[in-house]
Chain A
Amino acid sequence: MKKRDYYLTVISLILLVIFLYFADRYMDAYIVRILNLCAIYTVLGLSMNLINGFTGLFSLGHAGFMAIGAYTTAILTLSVNAKAQNFFLEPIAAPLANVVLPFFPSLLLAGILAALAGFLIGAPALRLKGDYLAIATLGFAEIIRVIFTNTQNITNGALGLKGIPAYTNLWWSYGIAAFTVLFMVLLINSSYGRAFKAIREDEIAAESMGINLFKHKVMSFTIGAFFAGIGGGLLGNLLGTIDPAMFKFTLTFNILLIIVLGGMGSITGTVISAFVVTISQEALRFLDQPMDLGFIVIPGVAGMRMVVFSILLMLVVLFYRHGLMGTNEFSWDRLINILSFKKPLLKGGKK
């Protein structure tokens, strides 16, 4: 790394920390919550991009992994009293009633359980390809949701869990988002990451170059599930309330939207897109309200703003398939070039 880039990176990290400090102290709860969601969606987007964008596995099971993560942390962090209040239809299964863990081990366990589920579903499902894999993983996510709806004495069924301690703050969410970014960068630029990309590019060639397809696919899938579980855990402890209906396909769709807009196979793209999508989901809330355009009055329809994203997704898939970043990554050179309105360096040009 060049010295200039090193300093620029350190300075921007310090600026981020200062910003977080002020946001944490002085900004109102609504904005802090959106900022938290941005970081959580970054984690979720990156975990899905590893599977779909870098390894080329068309998986739609993300909501399932998130549900496992969210429920694990929720159950482990709920106080004994809160558990008793929540489980009024049927008491919670004996060993869980008195277990209360701090946030970090709960999150870690959430990741591990999600990864385990990822491994168990991945081992048989990853023998499928393309659309078939998508259907199998989608089915898996639905199965998880139905199971959680029906295990009354573990998940409290359709009633959901309320009063989950709000442990997720800016430090947790941004700390974990930063860790995830670092992890992904290190993974993607390692020999294993190259093997993942080879599988995405051409399975047959990858296999005849000696890459064990199955092993690497399961590896990528399990790691993706791990971070999805952690993301789910952060989300649960941010919202304070979870129920199985939250983890429907639309949740997976939201994350898919982020990675397609940002660019399948770009860490930078996912991060930018996670922020843009999360913030505009809030900014576009006025679309859900009744609108008076002068000559016509549009009645308020909840979910109207999602139409914008659907159209955007269609446009991107039709006309700009690489998304915002394609498979490119952030570099200071690129940013400085953009900021100074210079044309990018020609290939092979001197730096």
Chain B
Amino acid sequence: MEMLKTDGITMQFGGLTAVKDFNLVLNKGEIVALIGPNGAGKTTAFNMITGVYIPTKGKIYYKGKDITQMAPHNITKLGIARTFQNIRLFKDLSVLDNVLIANHLHIKSNLFEALLRLPKYKNEDKKMLKKSLDLLEIVGLLDVKNEKSSSLPYGMQRRLEIARALATNPEVLLLDEPAAGMNPKETEDLTKFIKQIRDDFDLTIFMIEHHMQVVMGISERIYVFDYGITIAHGNPNEIQNNQRVIEAYLGVDDNA
């Protein structure tokens, strides 16, 4: 089943074309990676899918529904969650609060029911708390639930961001460089972790990553960007042997 599909999305900033005619297809349960040199437009593609930017051209479909013009919070509500390349936690708030906040979008009680702590709200609040604690346990952050989120070590902050994204009940999860700045051991753990949450939460995962170990290890298909153009698409094996990908990463020897 096609979860997410983009139809030739293009993003222009003035005279600069950051992404050109990107055609993405995500099938249910897949782990797909997007790679490319720095400044290739990968995060821009993410921002278009999540509604931060509205594409200059092209359409985005989520389960067949056109979401091109939708606001970011509505897209999240439909079931697309994301993490950020430069971690964006709610720094001054506790680890638990960070995850609780991500439950807020599905709240059914209105402001007055919440203020008066009516049974409907109390019930919802209890469920939110339980779900958040469960998620924190899964990502192994239950022990630090009352710490300020900015006080956590880097690897834990990354995992907290994923837990927070999971709290929105997503079906498609976009990870922007989840392994950035991690050591080999942490990277290996993360690779397992991504696979595990895909299975446990029935997710479709689309990620940007530079760590080839992670990319080649878990992704079923790979898209390669260079200067906003999709220069290759295929399974890890095909990508590793693709001449254009090698050129984009290593450069072309003009003297040859």
Contacts and interface: CB of A to CB of B under 8 A. Distances in A.
Interface residues of B, number: 40
B50 A209 contact: no
B92 A327 contact: yes
A191 B100 contact: yes
Nearest to A205: B88
Choose among B88, B100, B121, B167 the residue with the greatest number of A CB atoms under 10 Å from its CB.
B88
Contacts of A197: 90, 92-93, 97, 101
A208 B81 contact: yes
Nearest to B72: A207
A186 B104 contact: no
B91 interface: yes
Contacts of A234: none
A269 to B, nearest CB: 14
Given A201-B93, A205-B90, A210 B115 contact: no
A187 interface: yes
B125 to A, nearest CB: 7
Interface stretch (A36-44, A120-128, A211-219): A211-219
B164 interface: yes
Contacts, number: 98
B54 to A, nearest CB: 14
A204 B104 contact: no
Contact of A198 (B77, B90, B121): B90
A195 B101 contact: yes
Contacts of B109: 191
B111 interface: yes
Contacts of B164: 209
B115 A212 contact: no
B69 to A, nearest CB: 15
Nearest to A201: B90
A201 B88 CA distance: 9
A209 B107 contact: no
Choose among B73, B109, B125, B147 the residue with the greatest number of A CB atoms under 10 Å from its CB.
B73
Interface of B: 50, 52, 71-73, 76-77, 81-82, 84, 88-93, 97, 100-107, 109, 111, 114-117, 121, 124-125, 128, 147, 164-165, 167-168
Interface of A: 183, 186-187, 190-192, 194-195, 197-198, 201-202, 204-213, 219, 327, 347
Given A183-B115, A209-B101, 7 more contacts: A194-B93, A194-B97, A205-B88, A205-B90, A206-B101, A209-B76, A210-B76
